[in-house]
């Protein structure tokens, strides 16, 4: 029976060129670059709440890191170091091998070193602390959206929520359609390069993990502004765009979770530059509305359809404690 130390050595110890000292001591040592601020964030994934316990371990490893990288992206920060907290109900080496392979595939793709962590027995829980760097004063925060800003989102909205609805037998799709959409749910691509490219361009930014309206809502509240959103301008996959006017489907787009796209606001003068960045990164970036002044302290979004009717949106996102 392998000891905890053997397991850490075997599955979670790799070269850490960006750290002075990585896994194996009481603490890791890192040296931030001159002129940079550290951006630090933690996300916990709990089996049964954030993922199905029988999810493919490779994809779970990828996603565990990817959702944290998405937070780095949302600050305009370059992710560099991570620690991994693991609670495991049992030692399953096959599972650990696949999980760590997926985790390191994501780490290598985005240039992150795993520098430490903790491993314990318990209900399957995956927790990452991610640390990144951003030039001093350049982080893109939630509290700086300006009246007149355009609102943009990267990629597609609602695809991961669609795939989840299919897995839950709420929507029926063919295997071949589903094979594309489930990637969005199981192996999201954090928009790290976009986040960095938007330094000096975006006034405010957030990553969309709990649904567009909920997450944009955080920008609005912190910036004390409101928003107009145009339903038909929301970027969606084929299935969703064909069914956009059915209530359950536009709810997927406006309030579905797990998109891991970036939502940001920027002055109109940056419009052409943002489209250029979209081309350079071969990543769709869509302008979906505008920041407007709030009336009577109402920092919310109003969603319009093409006929300029207001869409009634009761559920704006996923709240674990609601
Ligand atoms: P301590 O008893 O001092 O907390 P541990 O036995 O928990 O030390 O960990 C030993 C070393 O292994 C530490 O450097 C720690 O950061 C690292 N480590 C433990 N679990 C993980 C993990 N899941 N991923 C990466 N490193 C880990
Ligand atoms: Mg420990």
Residues 64 and 45 sit within 8 Å (Cβ to Cβ): yes
85 and 163 assigned to the same domain: no
Residue 158, marked binder: no
**pTM value?**
0.93
Residue 55's alpha-carbon distances to 36, 50, 259, in angstroms, are: 37, 11, 18
Residue 209, marked binder: yes
113 and 14 assigned to the same domain: yes
Number of the ligand 1 atom closest to the C-alpha atom of 26: 3
Ligand nearest to the CA of 107: 1
43 and 129 assigned to the same domain: yes
Q: Quick: pLDDT tens for 30-89.
A: 999 999 999 999 999 999 998 888 899 999 999 999 999 999 999 999 999 999 999 999
For residue 296, is it within any domain?
yes
Residues 208 and 259 sit within 8 Å (Cβ to Cβ): yes
Give ion ligand 2 contacts, CB < 5 A.
118
Residue 322 three-state SS: coil
At 247, which CATH number?
3.90.650.10
Residue ranges of alpha helices (H) inside 111-191 are: 159-167, 175-186
C-alpha dihedral, 135 to 139 to 144 to 148, nearest 10°: 80
- Which tokens hold the place of 166? 């299919």
Residues 240 and 234 sit within 8 Å (Cβ to Cβ): no
For residue 313, is it within any domain?
no
Number of the ligand 1 atom closest to the C-alpha atom of 86: 23
182 and 263 assigned to the same domain: yes
Largest CA distance in the chain: 66
20 and 111 assigned to the same domain: yes
Identify the band that residue 250 occupies on the pLDDT scale cut at 50, 70 and 90: confident
Number of the ligand 1 atom closest to the C-alpha atom of 4: 6
116 and 253 assigned to the same domain: no
Residue nearest to atom 19 of ligand 1 (CA): 118
In whole angstroms, give the CA distance from residue 142 to residue 203: 8
128 and 177 assigned to the same domain: no
296 and 158 assigned to the same domain: yes
Ligand nearest to the CA of 19: 1
114 Cβ closer than 6 Å to some ligand 1 atom: yes
Q: How many domains does the chain have?
A: 2
Q: Which domain holds residue 117?
A: 4-135
For residue 92, is it within any domain?
yes
At 101, which CATH number?
3.30.1330.10
């Amino acid at each position: 029976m392998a000891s905890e130390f053997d397991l850490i050595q075997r599955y979670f110890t790799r070269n850490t060129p960006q750290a002075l000292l990585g896994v194996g001591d009481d603490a890791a040592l890192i040296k931030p670059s001159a002129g940079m601020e550290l951006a630090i964030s933690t996300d916990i994934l709990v089996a049964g709440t954030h993922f199905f316990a029988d999810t493919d371990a490779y994809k779970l490893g990828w996603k565990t890191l990817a959702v944290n990288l998405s937070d780095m992206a949302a600050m305009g920060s370059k992710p560099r170091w991570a620690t991994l907290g693991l609670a495991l109900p049992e030692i399953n080496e096959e599972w650990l091998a696949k999980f760590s392979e997926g985790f390191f595939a994501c780490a290598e793709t985005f240039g992150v070193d795993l520098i430490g962590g903790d491993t314990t027995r318990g209900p399957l829980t995956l927790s990452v602390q991610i640390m990144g760097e951003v030039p001093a004063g350049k982080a893109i925060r939630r509290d700086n959206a300006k009246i007149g800003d355009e609102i943009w989102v990267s990629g597609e909205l609602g695809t991961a929520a669609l795939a989840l609805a299919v897995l839950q037998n709420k929507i029926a799709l063919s295997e071949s359609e589903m094979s594309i959409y489930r990637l969005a749910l199981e192996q999201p691509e954090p928009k790290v390069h976009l986040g960095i490219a938007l330094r000096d361009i975006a006034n405010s930014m957030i990553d969309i993990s709990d649904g567009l309206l909920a997450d944009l809502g955080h920008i609005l509240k912190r910036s004390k502004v409101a928003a107009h959103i145009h339903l038909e301008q929301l970027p969606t996959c084929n299935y969703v765009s064909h069914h956009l006017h059915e209530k359950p489907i536009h709810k997927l787009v406006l309030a579905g979770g797990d998109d891991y796209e970036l939502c940001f606001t920027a002055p109109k003068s940056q419009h052409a530059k943002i489209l250029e960045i979209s081309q350079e990164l071969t990543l769709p970036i869509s302008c979906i509305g505008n920041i407007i002044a709030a009336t009577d302290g109402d920092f919310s979004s109003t969603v319009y359809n093409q006929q300029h009717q207001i869409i009634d949106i009761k559920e704006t996102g996923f709240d674990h404690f609601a």
